[in-house]
A and B are shown apart, each in its own frame.
Chain A
Amino acid sequence: MNDGSDRHDEPAGPARVFSLDEVETRPRRRSKGAVLRTVVLATWAVFCIAPVLWFLSIGLRPRTEIITPQPIYWPTFSLDAWHMIWNDWPMAAYLRNSVLAIIGSVVIDLVLAIPAAYSLSRYTYRGRDDIGFYILSTRMMAPAIVAVPIFFLFRNMGLLDSIWALMLVYAAINLSLVTWIIRSYMLDLPREIEDAARTDGASDLAILMLIIVPMCLPGIITAAVIAAIFAINEFLFTLLIASTQGAYTLSVALANFTGGSDGIIYNAIALVAFIAFVPVFIVVVLMQKHLSRGLTMGAVKG
């Protein structure tokens, strides 16, 4: 699908004809460019991956090799931290809480944001732009400002220390951004396709579900991935709401390794952080092909 769509963007029809000179010079020019591109991208990739690998190496070395005057580049391999986090700490619960809270919050976000974005991008009504800006403005405020009210709100609802509360909070934090991303994506969709669907007999709901959502899929996935990343990194509200392993997530659990009689357990912190990073990484890799825009091409004149 992905590799196909790029090629299909070229106007279909008779194959393009190259003159002989072009045929001869093209591969050479391309290979030179390809070498340069590979070098640049490889350098950038090493630059990005190195800290992650360094992190992993900290997680997989004994505690004694962490705090040393000189960095140890080839440490002894040790699963101490691994055994510790799984045996001495409720890692499974943390992981489960994180995953459930994130999935739940992203689902809530999408259910609310897709119709909202459609409304903001398509209908004209009084105050539409103000509502749009208001939604975005909720992100401009420092979260700490609402921390205390939120705590009382959830206490009064009896939702403290529950995954449901985390879902709601994460969804609320990300809703504006998700709505905004999907809205800007919808604004780019050609109107004529909706006009066509309307004259074909589709209701507003059918247009949204059968035409708009599939065409916006890359935008929706982008928004969902960003929301998931924000959610997995969320700390402040989780700390307020969660008080036991019933609701602790990975990001808050990390903090547990910094106090207590054992001091700061750097290798455990590194390993947990790495575990928190892996699912996001997998999701991004899987969704990569949808994070491009190719899908709408060819709908309206090519």
Chain B
Amino acid sequence: MDGSGDGTLNEQEDTGKDNQMAAINLRGVSREWNAVHAVKDIDLTIDDEEFMVFLGPSGCGKTTTMRMIAGLTELSSGGIWIGDELVNDVDPRDRDVAMVFQSYALYPNMSVYENIRFPLRMRGVPKARHDALVREAAEMVELGEFLDRRPGVLSGGQRQRAALARAIVRHPQVFLMDEPLSNLDAKLRSSMRVQLKRVQRQLKITTVYVTHDQIEAMTLADRVVIMNRGEIQQLGTPDEIYTNPSNTFVAGFIGSPPMNLIEGSVKDHRFESTGVLLHGVPLEDRTGVTLGIRPEDTFPTEPAAADLRGQLYGIEPTGDQTYLSIKAGDSLVEVRCDREFRQELDSPIAIRFDPGRLYYFDTASGERLATTSQP
């Protein structure tokens, strides 16, 4: 078993080299159904061996985009290249992609072993190699002992791993994963996340991963595409997305709890809103400015030094820290502070913002505003 396993690993590294440069290019890709734009004019390059996550709320077009890469949904316009090949008219079975579905989509009439072997049978891999390849894939996801069971008797996590093994067994050029972890419970999800990332690193296969869970996106991705209403909102590394959001949608979508967005106006380099007065704002005078500040970049402080004054509306100790909701006018501002922090509800409270972590957006368009270097 050990010996044959080593042999196949080497063989697969060879085939892996044959599949060089599995970059994916999307150019002007659109999809519409009866004048409803699911995906609008997307341009995107996914690099070879990259782990790319499509992140967005449901209905944002991320799954449609993935299905177009798989060939399961036709493009309305535009083009998709896998490697150097334009694949618009290539049948899914002739694209060298493997997909993992949210529902696992295992074949109920076959054992786990036959499920994993199915792609090998369909793609004409010589029969002599099947057994070793299946066992190797099953080992990789720690499923070895369940090979002779039917999917129906497996737990959710085991089914998901069987689906994963079926995808990795033939070492495709591209992995496509459509919310593969969202049916699992929280604990299993985090351990599967780690396993998934290890497998992808080991196999060095270009991966597109669709999710609405920002934790998955932040932890798994080399780069994240944030989508909304069929359009790309921002493309960047998890760090860039978090520290440098390009609009209010991204700012409000990433982070838990998300960034506070406070509408107001700027005059004489001062930002004003109900309960908020902020000095030294690097913007020219204008109305319709949205100030963004993350809960972790805010601190309770002396009233004299405060940027925000309001009433304590809610207090949520989570163990390692305490979250405060502060009511200023009609809006609520989330603040993160030490775990020991306690204060009476409805009592006045003063908050200071970290001046290096402030973001300004145009309220109407939501776009980030360019700040002048000198306040």
Nearest B residue to A294 via CB reads: B152
Range for the number of chain B residues in contact with chain A: 35 or more
B82-101 residues with Cβ-Cβ distance < 8 A to A are 91-93, 95, 97-99, 101
Interface centre among A12, A206, A217 (most CB of B within 10 A): A12
Interface centre among A193, A196, A198, A296 (most CB of B within 10 A): A196
CB distance from A101 to the nearest CB of B (A): 31
B162-197 residues with Cβ-Cβ distance < 8 A to A are 163, 166, 176, 183
Q: In the bound complex, how far is the Cα of B176 from the Cα of A181, in angstroms? A: 35
Q: Does A184 make an interface contact (CB < 8 A)?
A: no
CB distance from A219 to the nearest CB of B (A): 13
A196 & B122 in contact (Cβ 8 Å cutoff): no
A196 & B155 in contact (Cβ 8 Å cutoff): no
Q: In the bound complex, how far is the Cα of B95 from the Cα of A11, in angstroms? A: 35
A295 & B108 in contact (Cβ 8 Å cutoff): yes
B130-164 residues with Cβ-Cβ distance < 8 A to A are 150-156, 158-159, 163
A300 contact set on B, CB distance < 8 A:
103-105
A41-57 residues with Cβ-Cβ distance < 8 A to B are none
Q: Does B81 make an interface contact (CB < 8 A)?
A: no
Q: In the bound complex, how far is the Cα of B72 from the Cα of A200, in angstroms? A: 12
Q: Does B107 make an interface contact (CB < 8 A)?
A: yes
A179-196 residues with Cβ-Cβ distance < 8 A to B are 190, 192-193, 195-196
Q: Which of B95, B99, B153, B158 contacts A195 (CB 8 A)?
A: B99
Q: Does B299 make an interface contact (CB < 8 A)?
A: no
Label chain A's interface by main secondary structure. Answer: helix
Nearest B residue to A190 via CB reads: B103
- Given A5-B152, A299-B151, CB of A197 within 8 Å of CB of B101: no
Q: Does B242 make an interface contact (CB < 8 A)?
A: no
Q: Does A90 make an interface contact (CB < 8 A)?
A: no
Q: Does B129 make an interface contact (CB < 8 A)?
A: no
A203 contact set on B, CB distance < 8 A:
93, 122
B108 & A202 in contact (Cβ 8 Å cutoff): no
- Given A12-B153, A201-B122, CB of A298 within 8 Å of CB of B97: no
A195 contact set on B, CB distance < 8 A:
67, 70, 72, 92, 99, 101, 105
Q: In the bound complex, how far is the Cα of B106 from the Cα of A19, in angstroms? A: 35
Nearest B residue to A202 via CB reads: B122
Range for the number of chain A residues in contact with chain B: 20 to 34
CB distance from A102 to the nearest CB of B (A): 27
Interface centre among B103, B105, B107, B156 (most CB of A within 10 A): B105
- Given A195-B72, A198-B92, CB of A298 within 8 Å of CB of B153: yes
CB distance from A9 to the nearest CB of B (A): 8
Q: Which of A8, A201, A217 contacts B152 (CB 8 A)?
A: A8
B108 & A11 in contact (Cβ 8 Å cutoff): no
Nearest A residue to B103 via CB reads: A300
B345-361 residues with Cβ-Cβ distance < 8 A to A are none
CB distance from B365 to the nearest CB of A (A): 38
A299 & B92 in contact (Cβ 8 Å cutoff): no
Interface centre among A190, A199, A217, A297 (most CB of B within 10 A): A199
Q: In the bound complex, how far is the Cα of B109 from the Cα of A200, in angstroms? A: 16
CB distance from A259 to the nearest CB of B (A): 52
A199 & B72 in contact (Cβ 8 Å cutoff): yes
A200 & B98 in contact (Cβ 8 Å cutoff): yes
Q: Does A127 make an interface contact (CB < 8 A)?
A: no
Q: Which of B91, B118, B154 contacts A197 (CB 8 A)?
A: B118
Q: Does B267 make an interface contact (CB < 8 A)?
A: no
B109 & A196 in contact (Cβ 8 Å cutoff): no
A197 & B70 in contact (Cβ 8 Å cutoff): no
CB distance from B60 to the nearest CB of A (A): 20
B72 & A299 in contact (Cβ 8 Å cutoff): no
Q: Which of A198, A211, A295 contacts B72 (CB 8 A)?
A: A198
Nearest B residue to A295 via CB reads: B108
Q: In the bound complex, how far is the Cα of B170 from the Cα of A199, in angstroms? A: 12
Q: In the bound complex, how far is the Cα of B297 from the Cα of A12, in angstroms? A: 44
Nearest A residue to B109 via CB reads: A214
B183 & A202 in contact (Cβ 8 Å cutoff): no
B155 & A11 in contact (Cβ 8 Å cutoff): yes
A198 contact set on B, CB distance < 8 A:
71-72, 91-93
B92 contact set on A, CB distance < 8 A:
195, 198-199
CB distance from A241 to the nearest CB of B (A): 39
Q: Which of A4, A196, A301 contacts B183 (CB 8 A)?
A: A301
A201 contact set on B, CB distance < 8 A:
93, 119, 122-123
A297 & B152 in contact (Cβ 8 Å cutoff): yes
Nearest A residue to B153 via CB reads: A8
- Given A11-B156, A201-B122, CB of A298 within 8 Å of CB of B150: yes
Q: In the bound complex, how far is the Cα of B72 from the Cα of A11, in angstroms? A: 30
Q: Which of B98, B103, B109 contacts A199 (CB 8 A)?
A: B98
* Cross-chain pairs A/B with CB under 8 angstroms, 27 sampled: A4-B153, A8-B150, A8-B153, A11-B155, A11-B156, A13-B155, A192-B101, A192-B105, A193-B106, A193-B108, A196-B106, A200-B93, A200-B123, A201-B119, A201-B123, A202-B122, A295-B108, A298-B108, A298-B152, A298-B153, A298-B159, A299-B103, A299-B152, A301-B102, A301-B183, A302-B152, A302-B156
Sorted from nearest, which 4 A-B pairs have the closest CB atoms? A298-B152, A201-B122, A214-B109, A299-B108
Given contacts A12-B155, A13-B155, A197-B107, 8 further A-B contacts (CB under 8 A): A11-B155, A192-B102, A196-B106, A196-B166, A211-B107, A217-B109, A299-B151, A300-B103
